[in-house]
Structure 1
Amino acid sequence: MDFNEFKDELVEVIKGKTEENTSITIHTVNKNNGIILNGVVIMREAECISPTIYLEPFFEMARKGKDMYEIADEILALSMDQKNKFYFDVDEFQDISVTGKKILYKLVNYDKNKELLENIPHRRWHDLAIVYYVLVSCDELGTGTILIRNEHLKLWNVGEQELYAFATENTPRLLKKTIKTMAEIILDFMDERLMDSDENEITVKAAKEFGENTPVKMYVMGNKVKLNGACVILYDRSMASFAEYVDSDFYILPSSIHEVILVPANEDVDEQSLLSLVREVNENNVTEEEWLSDNVYKYLRSEDSVEMIS
């Protein structure tokens, strides 16, 4: 069974499990960095919006022999679960006085998203692009977002400048900045793994030694929800405050779209080594969708500006 056959059969099976007037549509979705996914939208009569359920994982289940009826049941349950989790008011969304308070920004790679950028408002930042989205929900149940497209500007009668103003105020307020040393990140990882006492003792010791002995200090900057956190470098005085704290210029390493690594500039730091590190980590540890850049940036304290190193 190929993917097209899978989609056709799945639609027929879902039709047999839903009410007569239920709309079942499959469409492609352009994700970050040019990744294209296929999603199904199941919309019952009187509904005006419904979540997109991506089909690629379910196709893998079918290839491994899972029954199509079981797959359809899982998709229907997931769709209903998403509807119950995330409340969305269409009238409120159309009202910019309400939605404007939820408009945020994030950073994506410019060249990797050229096709997408043709259809969404944005502004360039070195080899990256600042793009905008609406934060529909963000709580213990999860996070729901809507990418802002050019047609939304017409709906709200606003321009990119207004979006940037909204996002500049809202993003730091709704997605608070976090900054930790690399040693603290190691300790957090240890807590998440719930190691036994012996492992705890060894890891705590290693983390402390790493923080105390490494000549190259590293700090991880992101946000509290760990979503689209690389943009925290754009927050007002975010970079200037860190430069004051470390009393030097510093390098910005794009760890992913979710966070960046900051390295104070000193004689032990070699720019080419940082570039090699970023590219090696991107190649081996970062998913294609979460990749941000293979370049490094340097904040110049005296000029309050950023230059790109490639």
Structure 2
Amino acid sequence: MEYKKFVCMVEEKLNLKLEGGMKASKYSVVKNNGMEKTGMILESDEYNIAPAIYLEEFFEQYQKGMSIDRIVNEILEFYEKVKVEEDYDVSQLSVYENVKKKIAFKLVNTEKNQQMLKEVPHIPLLDLSIVFYILVDVDEKGSATIQIRNEHIEDWDVNVEQLYKDAKLNVKRLIPARLMYMQHVIEKLCDISKTEEKDLLKAKFPPENKEFMYILTNSIHQFGAAVLAYPNILEMASRIIGEDFYLLPSSIHEVILIPKSKSPDLKDLNEMINEVNETQVQEEEVLSDHAYYYEKNTHTLMMGKCLSEI
């Protein structure tokens, strides 16, 4: 069965089961790196916020033999966990002061997001771009965000420099950075079922070296690679590590830090990043295909001969 037909079948089955004025409808969006994803919006007459539930992974399960009825039941169970039972006052978006303290940012690959970057305010950082969003809510279920677009800052009469200034203050309070030993968190951050990725890491980095490797992310592990642009974070990391270090963009959600003295050469690092991106990371979560380098004495993040002071 083709994916489009699968989506239509799920929509039809969902609407047969939904009650109380609820309705399921198809929803498509272009995500990070130009990837289009299709899902379902389960809308209620009571509330003006509805989660988007993407169907690509459900389609994979269907291809492996899972029935449509079971998939629909799993979607409904997931909805019960993530549904929002309150309205969001969209009028707040019209006034900058109402959202000023909820503005945060994430990092995206500049080359892979050319079209999106034409439509949103952004700041370049080497071959990456800092883009902004409103952190509407965050809890143990996840987070709700609104992408900030050019029309927003035009309505607010603010510039991108003001966004960045406010966001740098907010992220330290709302989603602070986390630096952890990799040996303590690798099985939590890398799905235990992904044995290929674990084997690859073991091959490239012997067990005795893992105590010198770190994971850098944020407190919710969502868009956590953005901590690269947090004020003073890389400088603080260099004090803990005690020397220059390489940064491996594991995904848009985190980066791996490796002291220069414990690291393979740059060619091997880049080969590993490319292999992991191609085999283990979803395409919309890829940040970059090469390592970065932080020079402790000059407080400089660099890529090849490109330099960026943080």
Displacement of 1:126 in angstroms is 1.1
CA contact (8 A) 1:172 1:232 kept: no
For the structure 1 residues 144 and 239, does the alpha-carbon distance in structure 2 shift closer, same or farther, using more than 3 Å as the test?
same
Q: In percent, how many aligned pairs have the same letter?
A: 37
Segment drifting more, 84-93 vs 143-152? 84-93
155-164 vs 252-261, which deviates more?
155-164
Q: Distance in 2 between matches of 1:46 and 1:308?
A: 50
The answer for the alignment partner of 1:35 in structure 2 is 35
Find out whether 1:254 has 2:263 as its counterpart.
no
CA shift, 1:299, in A, is: 1.8
| Residue identity in the other structure for 1:162 | Q
Normalised TM-score (structure 1) = 0.78
1:24-80 per-position Cα deviation (integer Å, ceiling 9, x unaligned): 532311112222111222334464332222233344455566565554455455445
Q: What's the counterpart of residue 200 of structure 1?
A: none
Deviations, residues 243-293 of structure 1 (Å, cap 9, x unaligned): 333443222221211111222334975322322332233333323222111
The one-letter code of the counterpart of 2:52 is T
Other-structure match for 1:89: 89
Which segment drifts farther, 229-238 or 239-248? Answer: 239-248
Q: After the TM superposition, which residues 36-75 of structure 1 pair with which residues of structure 2 at under 5 Å, given as runs?
A: 36-45=36-45, 47-60=47-60, 62-63=62-63, 68=68, 71-72=71-72, 74-75=74-75
Q: Deviations over 1:199-219 (max 9, x none)?
A: xxxxxxxx984457xxxx322
Alpha-carbon distance in structure 1 between the residues aligned to 2:75 and 2:263: 53
Counterpart of 1:243 in structure 2: which amino acid? S
1:199 alignment partner in structure 2: none
Q: Distance in 2 between matches of 1:183 and 1:22?
A: 46
**1:226–1:259 Cα contact (<8 Å) kept:** yes
Equivalent pair of 1:218/1:262 in contact (CA under 8 Å): yes
1:281 aligns with 2:276: yes
Partners of 1:220 and 1:20 lie apart in 2 by 45
Distance 1:46 1:87 in 2: 8
Amino acid of the structure 1 residue aligned with 2:235: A
| Alpha-carbon separation, structure 2, partners of 1:86 and 1:107 | 30
2:25 aligns to what?
A: 25
* Aligned residues of 2:48 and 2:88 also touching (Cα < 8 A): no
User: Which protein is bigger by CA-based radius of gyration?
Assistant: 1
Aligned to 1:198: none
- 3-state SS, counterpart of residue 136 of structure 1: strand
Structure 1: segments with no counterpart, 5+ residues:
194-206
Q: Name the CA distance, whole Å, in 2 between partners of 1:23 and 1:185.
A: 40
1:84 alignment partner, SS class: coil
Cα gap change, 1:260/1:115 in structure 2, threshold over 3 Å: closer, same or farther? same
Q: Does structure 1 residue 158 correspond to structure 2 residue 158?
A: yes
Gaps of 5+ in 2: 193-205, 306-310
What's the offset of the Cα at 1:168?
Answer: 1.0
The AA in structure 2 aligned to 1:300 is: E
Per-residue deviation, 1:106:
0.9
The separation in 2 between residues aligned to 1:304 and 1:82, in whole angstroms, is: 41
Select 2:228's aligned residue among 226, 229, 233.
233
Normalised to the residue count of structure 2, the TM-score between the two structures is: 0.78
Which letter maps to 2:177?
A: K
Instruction: Answer with 236-245 or 106-115: which moved more.
Output: 236-245
**Counterparts of 2:259 and 2:117, CA distance in 1:** 33
How many Å apart are 1:104 and its aligned residue?
Answer: 0.7
State how far apart, in whole Å, the 2-side matches of 1:133 and 1:28 are: 19
- Per-residue deviation, 1:298: 1.7
Q: Cα–Cα, structure 1 residues 85 and 305, in superposed 2: closer, same or farther, change >3 Å?
A: farther
User: Which of the residues 206, 217, 220 maps onto 1:222?
Assistant: 217
TM-aligned CA deviation for residue 103 of structure 1: 1.0
